[in-house]
């Protein structure tokens, strides 16, 4: 390492040591170490082509037509009014739809209001256990590393029946490993778990999954229709590339949705989120979106194939828009992530803070075709030294 790089490495190390169990965010890093030249942020898990699409609509619908003022000045519609518009599009009664200030607000609302004893599969998205209050019990179900963290449905069902939780959470595809349960497997799971009060199906990454070569979009709405315990949670941040807007929704039983609305959440959307939802339910927009969705999946498939052949790492199978990588070359994940950031300007996520992951892991988001190529060649340089 050159001198400049060494000093930057120690600064990074200091930031990380001060950040506790979490990794410092890229903004914190850039503010504290301005000499870092960030070129690709592959921590972010979103479709960049969908962001392009959204921005082109935003430009023509709001900026160029001077309607931006309305969106910024006035109160957005209430939760119930926005869900009304989504209902038609999703073919679900709007009284089963709850609009969230990002999916994470919905996770918080559901756990705080409906759960006492919750089973969470690890590794996972940490909010599902971090938001539990002191009087709420979290039971971890460890996914099997030897089976690539894939959920063993039979074993899981038995575990649930033993532990008798009121809430279980299935993230599909799962974060951070990308493992995917097919619609058929989900059907078995939902049927067997019909006595659990709340069956949360988090579909934040479902638009990146596919079961056929045609890349047809997968949807879980039908599980909801037939099972009164299902709560589908859907982030819009990942598939539409608009994390800054904070938009998500859930499909849930009427009495739960109404309980939440009677206790708050009336004005939890912002003007841009409301504008986004108007776009979302527009058929022409959906056609345009489906094109950038398929393009992104194909790029991600290529990215995955390119990573597979690199030496010194294990690449876990994924149907999400990111890849879980285990380092087998003796480097720690922090060391690897630092090298990649300092020498190549590429930021990826260490998985140091993920409970349930044994080993040195990174999670790398798929970006544009060109960026993915840069990521692969940078990884190659580090791994083949």
Site residues, its own copies (CB under 8 A): 25, 27-28, 41, 44, 46, 48, 51, 54-55, 58, 63, 68-78, 81, 101-102, 104-105, 108, 112, 127, 130-131, 133, 237, 241-246, 262-273
- In the complex with its own copies, the residue whose CB is nearer, 10 or 75, is 75
End-to-end CA distance of the chain: 12
In the complex, the smallest distance separating the C-beta of residue 87 from its own copies, rounded to whole angstroms, is 15
- For the record, the structure tokens of 58 come out as 């935003």
- For residues 76 and 253, which CB has a smaller minimum distance to its own copies in the complex? 76
Q: In angstroms, what is the minimal distance from the CB of 216 to its own copies? A: 26
Whole-number Å distance between alpha carbons of 92 and 253? 11
Rank residues 102 and 178 by Cβ distance to its own copies and give the closer one. 102
- What's the burial of 249, exposed, middle or buried (CB within 10 Å: 0-12/13-18/19+)? buried
Instruction: For the CB of residue 27, give the shortest distance to its own copies in the complex, in Å.
Output: 6
Q: How far is the CB of 332 from its own copies (least distance, A)?
A: 25
To the nearest whole angstrom, how small is the minimum distance from the Cβ of residue 238 to its own copies? 11
Tokens of residue 304, six digits: 């995955």
State which residue, 218 or 272, has the beta carbon closest to its own copies.
272
Q: What is the CA radius of gyration of the chain?
A: 21
Q: Considering the complex, state which of residue 3 and residue 66 has its C-beta at the smaller distance from its own copies.
A: 66
**Which is nearer to its own copies, 244 or 311 (by Cβ)?**
244
Taking the complex as a whole, the smallest distance from the CB of residue 182 to its own copies amounts, in Å, to 30
Query: Using the 8-state DSSP alphabet, how is residue 277 labeled?
Result: H
In whole angstroms, give the CA distance from residue 239 to residue 50.
Answer: 7
Instruction: Using the minimum distance from each CB to its own copies, give the nearer residue, 265 or 303.
Output: 265
Residue with tokens 């199906």: 201
326 CB-near residues (< 8 Å, 6+ apart): 313, 314, 316, 359, 360, 361
CB of 5 to its own copies, least distance (A): 26
- In the complex, minimum distance from the CB of residue 242 to its own copies, in angstroms, rounded to a whole number: 6
Report the residue number, 160 or 248, with the smaller CB distance to its own copies.
248
Distance CA 70, CA 251 (A): 29
28 in Cβ contact with 11 (< 8 Å):
no
CA distance 160 to 173: 20
Min dist. Cβ of residue 299 to its own copies (A): 17
Distance, in Å, from the CA atom of 137 to the CA atom of 135, rounded to the nearest integer, reads: 7
What gap in Å lies between CA 358 and CA 61, rounded to an integer? 48
* CA–CA separation, 104 and 114 (whole Å): 15
Instruction: CB nearer to its own copies: give 347 or 361.
Output: 347
With contact defined as beta carbons under 8 Å apart, do 79 and 259 qualify? no
Question: How many Å apart are CA 200 and CA 220, to the nearest integer?
Answer: 11
DSSP assigned state of 221: H
C-alpha 284/C-alpha 34 separation (Å) is: 43
| C-alpha triplet 167, 171, 174: angle, nearest 5° | 145
């Amino acid at each position: 390492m050159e001198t400049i790089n060494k000093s930057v490495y120690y600064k990074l190390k200091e930031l990380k040591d001060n950040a506790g169990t979490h990794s410092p965010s890229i903004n914190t890093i850039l503010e504290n170490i301005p000499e870092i030249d960030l070129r690709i942020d592959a921590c972010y898990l979103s479709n960049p082509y969908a962001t392009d699409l959204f921005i082109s609509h935003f430009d023509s619908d709001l900026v160029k037509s001077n309607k931006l003022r309305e969106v910024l000045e006035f109160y957005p519609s209430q939760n119930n009014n926005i869900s009304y518009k989504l209902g038609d599009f999703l073919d679900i009664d709007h009284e089963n739809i709850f609009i969230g200030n990002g999916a994470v607000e919905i996770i918080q609302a559901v756990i705080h209001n409906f759960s006492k004893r919750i089973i969470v599969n690890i590794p996972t998205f940490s909010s599902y256990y971090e938001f539990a209050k002191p009087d709420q019990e979290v039971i971890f179900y460890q996914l099997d590393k030897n089976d690539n963290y894939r959920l063993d449905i039979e074993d899981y069902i038995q575990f649930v029946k033993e532990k008798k939780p009121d809430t279980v959470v299935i993230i599909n595809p799962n974060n951070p490993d990308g493992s995917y349960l097919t619609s058929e497997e989900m059907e078995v799971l939902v049927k067997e778990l019909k006595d659990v009060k709340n069956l949360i199906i988090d579909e934040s990454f479902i638009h990146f999954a596919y079961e056929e070569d045609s890349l047809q979009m997968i949807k879980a709405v039908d599980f909801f229709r037939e099972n009164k315990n299902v709560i589908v949670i859907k982030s819009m941040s990942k598939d539409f590339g608009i994390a800054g807007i904070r938009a998500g929704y859930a499909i849930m039983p009427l009495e739960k949705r109404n309980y939440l609305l009677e206790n708050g959440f009336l004005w939890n959307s912002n003007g841009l989120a409301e504008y986004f939802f108007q776009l979302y339910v527009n058929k022409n927009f959906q056609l345009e979106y489906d094109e950038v969705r398929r393009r992104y999946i194909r790029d991600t498939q290529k990215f995955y194939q390119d990573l597979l052949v690199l030496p010194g790492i294990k690449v876990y199978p994924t149907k999400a828009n990111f890849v879980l990588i285990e380092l087998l070359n003796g480097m720690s994940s922090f060391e690897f992530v630092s090298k990649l950031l300092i020498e190549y300007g590429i930021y990826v996520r260490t998985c140091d803070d993920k409970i349930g992951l044994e080993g040195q892991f990174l999670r790398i988001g798929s970006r544009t075709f060109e960026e993915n190529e840069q990521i692969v060649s940078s990884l190659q340089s580090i791994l083949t030294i």
